[in-house]
Amino acid sequence: MKISKFTQRLALAAFVIALLPTGNAAVHAQNTATIPEPRTPQMWSGRWSEKLARVRQGDIDLILVGDSITHAWDNPENRPVWSSYFAPRKAISLGYSGARTENILWMLENGEIDGLHPKAAVVMIGTNNTDYRHYPTTHTPEQLAEGIVKIVRTLRTKLPETKVLLLSVFPRNDMPGAGDVGAKASEIASKIADNRNIFYLNVNKIYLKADGEVDSSLMPDRLHPNAVGNLLWAEAMEPMLERLMGKPENNAVIPTQKQEDDFYNWQERHEAVCTAIKKGPVDLVFIGDSITHLFGGPPSPGLRGQTVWDKYYSSRNAVNLGFGWDRTQQVLWRLQNGELEGIHPKAAVILIGTNNLTPNNARANTNEEIVAGIKQVCVTVHQKSPGTKILLMGILPRGVQPSELFRVRIEQINKELAKLNGHNNITFMNIGSAFLDSNSVLLPDVTTDSLHPNEKGYEIWASSIEPVLSKWLRK
Q: What angle do CA 423, 425, 427 make, to 5 degrees?
A: 75
Query: How do residues 29-42 score in pLDDT, each as one tens digit?
Result: 689 999 999 986 66
**pLDDT band per the 50, 70, 90 thresholds, residue 134:** very high
SS3 (DSSP) at 338? helix
> Same domain for 234 and 310?
no
Check if the beta carbon of residue 409 is closer than 8 Å to that of residue 452: no
Check if the beta carbon of residue 99 is closer than 8 Å to that of residue 90: no
Burial class (CB in 10 A: 0-12, 13-18, 19+), 368: middle
Check if the beta carbon of residue 94 is closer than 8 Å to that of residue 35: no
d(C-alpha 157, C-alpha 88), whole Å = 26
For residue 100, pLDDT over 90 is answered with yes
> Same domain for 230 and 299?
no
> Same domain for 118 and 163?
yes
For residue 15, pLDDT over 90 is answered with no
- Supply the Cα-derived Rg of the chain in whole angstroms: 27
If you average pLDDT over residues 39-52, what whole number do you get? 81
Query: How do residues 402-448 score in pLDDT, each as one tens digit?
Result: 999 999 999 999 999 999 999 999 999 999 999 999 999 999 999 99
**pLDDT band per the 50, 70, 90 thresholds, residue 327:** very high
Q: Say what the pLDDT of residue 201 is.
A: 98
For residue 382, pLDDT over 50 is answered with yes
Domain boundary among the residues 207, 233, 248 is at 248
Closest CA to 155 of 195, 189, 203, 104: 104
Q: Which residue has the higher pLDDT, 356 or 297?
A: 356
For residue 63, pLDDT over 70 is answered with yes
Q: Say what the pLDDT of residue 41 is.
A: 64
> Same domain for 330 and 433?
yes
d(C-alpha 28, C-alpha 22), whole Å = 6
Least trusted range by pLDDT, from 22-36, 207-221, 335-349, 392-406: 22-36
Give the number of other Cβ atoms within 10 Å of residue 346's Cβ: 18
Residue 39 belongs to domain spanning: 5-248
- Characterize 275-304 residue by residue with b for buried, 16 or more Cβ atoms within 10 angstroms of its Cβ, and e for exposed: ebbeeeebbbbbbbbbbbbbbbbeebeebb
Domain boundary among the residues 209, 228, 248 is at 248
Which CA distances in Å does 437 have to 397, 431, 446, 456? 12, 13, 11, 15
SS3 (DSSP) at 165? strand
**Domains: count for the chain:** 2
If you average pLDDT over residues 78-89, what whole number do you get? 98
> Same domain for 281 and 241?
no
The CATH number for 405's domain is 3.40.50.1110
Q: Say what the pLDDT of residue 301 is.
A: 87
> Same domain for 80 and 227?
yes
> Same domain for 214 and 124?
yes
DSSP assignment of 260-324: S--SS-HHHHHHHHHHHHHH----EEEEESHHHHTTSSS--TT-S-HHHHHHHHTTTTEEEEE-T
d(C-alpha 95, C-alpha 112), whole Å = 11
Check if the beta carbon of residue 208 is closer than 8 Å to that of residue 214: yes
pTM of the full predicted structure?
0.91
> Same domain for 53 and 127?
yes
Closest CA to 60 of 130, 143, 159: 159
Domain boundary among the residues 218, 248, 278 is at 248
Closest CA to 413 of 457, 372, 461: 372
Q: Phi first, then psi: give them for residue 393, nearest 5 degrees.
A: -90, 140
Question: With pLDDT > 90 as the criterion, what percentage of the chain qualifies?
Answer: 88
> Same domain for 76 and 213?
yes
> Same domain for 271 and 408?
yes
Does an H or E element contain 412, and which? Answer: helix 405-417
Least trusted range by pLDDT, from 35-39, 57-61, 78-82, 283-287: 35-39
> Same domain for 129 and 15?
yes
> Same domain for 290 and 357?
yes
d(C-alpha 377, C-alpha 422), whole Å = 16
Burial class (CB in 10 A: 0-12, 13-18, 19+), 15: exposed
For residue 449, pLDDT over 60 is answered with yes
Query: How do residues 140-159 score in pLDDT, each as one tens digit?
Result: 999 999 999 999 999 999 99
Closest CA to 360 of 321, 322, 324, 409: 324
- The neighbouring-strand residues paired with 351 are 288
For residue 202, pLDDT over 90 is answered with yes
